[in-house]
Amino acid sequence: MNTATETRTVVIEREIPQPAAKIWKALTTSHLISEWLMNNDFHPEVGHRFKLRGEWGGVLDCEVLEIDPERSLSYSWDHDNDDPLYALRSVVTYTLTPTATGTHLRVEQSGFRPEQKQAYGGAHAGWKGFLAKLEGVVGAEG
Amino acid sequence: MNTATETRTVVIEREIPQPAAKIWKALTTSHLISEWLMNNDFHPEVGHRFKLRGEWGGVLDCEVLEIDPERSLSYSWDHDNDDPLYALRSVVTYTLTPTATGTHLRVEQSGFRPEQKQAYGGAHAGWKGFLAKLEGVVGAEG
């Protein structure tokens, strides 16, 4: 029995009528990321540490873990808090798969502990909003 | 000379064509706060500690500092981060003043250190968005 490692994962999937190359650009270009996700100092290089900054003063600590151009991107998505219920150690992975009409995008955020029900539910709602904005950014880019 | 205490303050003001009582309700009722600001366990009692939770896993640590019903509300708005550039110790104060056509709302967030330029700029943009949503919530409530 090893309940200490039990975590929950949020998965959101979307069909986007755009080529994978355009979505990849929006996922990996700092000024575009700021339009659909948060302000950031992202750079597409494994090992690069960066921050995602909410407008209200909140901050996520991140590190690029894996890059497979136009196919998948993975980074850590951590949040400091003295209260363990709110401290978060998670990993976000984007996976792109070409389809007949565009691209299938899968976003996974793993690492929610069972007691972090609110953070888990919030992330589900948060990603829906982020991805709706992402689609707008991808559609607007020439 | 005492540069250690120098901080910057964000101030946003709006004229809202609604009575102060309705705005006060939206500022101090947990389920309404969650509609325009963030998920929370706010309770209108001086000394009450609560969290504001971003959908993406970020958290603010808050404590109610002052309540003057239908006139002013003040709470701390802190954010933990190992990097001092991102750790925030601030105070948010809402002040309501009746006018001929409704209510003048002033929101002040104080405590940004001079080097926290990005958090300061972000808060300015953030409050504009929050208050636009607040007006919607106040207008929708009967």
Statement: residue B14 has pLDDT above 70: yes
Q: Which chain A residues are Cβ-neighbours of B81 within 8 angstroms?
A: 59, 61, 80
Statement: residue B38 has pLDDT above 70: yes
Q: Which chain B residues are Cβ-neighbours of A56 within 8 angstroms?
A: 38, 52, 54, 60, 77, 122-123, 126, 130
pLDDT, residue A86, reads 86
A125/B77 CB distance under 8 A: no
**Higher per-residue confidence, A43 vs A118:** A43
**Higher per-residue confidence, B87 vs A70:** A70
pLDDT-based confidence at residue B13 (cuts at 50, 70, 90): very high
pLDDT, residue B77, reads 96
Read off the pLDDT of each residue in B45-61 and give the average, rounded to a whole number: 90
The sign of the CA dihedral A79, A84, A89, A90 is: negative
Q: Which chain B residues are Cβ-neighbours of A60 within 8 angstroms?
A: 56-58
pLDDT digits 0-9 by tens, A26-62: 999 999 999 999 999 999 999 999 999 887 778 999 9
Distance CA(B85)–CA(B117), nearest Å, equals: 9
Distance CA(A39)–CA(A54), nearest Å, equals: 7
Q: Which chain A residues are Cβ-neighbours of B51 within 8 angstroms?
A: 83, 86
**Higher per-residue confidence, B102 vs B84:** B102
Q: Which of A57, A119, A122 sits opposite B123 (nearest CB)?
A: A57
pLDDT-based confidence at residue B4 (cuts at 50, 70, 90): low
Return the closest-CA partner of residue B78 out of B103, B105, B101, B50.
B50
DSSP-derived secondary structure for B21-44: HHHHHHHH-HHHHHHHT-EE---S
A55/B90 CB distance under 8 A: no
pLDDT, residue B50, reads 97
pLDDT digits 0-9 by tens, A67-96: 999 999 999 999 988 888 888 999 999 999
A57/B82 CB distance under 8 A: no
Q: Which chain B residues are Cβ-neighbours of A57 within 8 angstroms?
A: 60, 77, 79, 88, 90, 119, 122-123, 126
pLDDT-based confidence at residue A19 (cuts at 50, 70, 90): very high
pLDDT, residue B103, reads 97
Statement: residue B15 has pLDDT above 70: yes
Which residue does chain A place closest to B81, by CA atoms?
Answer: A80
DSSP-derived secondary structure for A76-95: EEEE--SSTTT-EEEEEEEE
Q: Which of A79, A125, A130 sits opposite B58 (nearest CB)?
A: A79
Helices (H), chain B: 20-28, 30-36, 117-140
Beta pairing partners, A79: A88
Helix (H, G, I), strand (E, B) or coil at B90: strand
Residue pair A56/B61 in contact (Cβ under 8 Å)? The answer is no
How many C-beta atoms lie closer than 10 Å to residue A69's C-beta?
12
Read off the pLDDT of each residue in B71-100 and give the average, rounded to a whole number: 94
Return the closest-CA partner of residue B30 out of B50, B54, B58, B12.
B50
Q: Which of B53, B81, B123 sits opposite A55 (nearest CB)?
A: B123
pLDDT, residue A142, reads 59
Q: Which of B61, B86, B129 sits opposite A59 (nearest CB)?
A: B86
A53/B125 CB distance under 8 A: no
Read off the pLDDT of each residue in B92-102 and give the average, rounded to a whole number: 97
Residue pair B111/B85 in contact (Cβ under 8 Å)? The answer is no
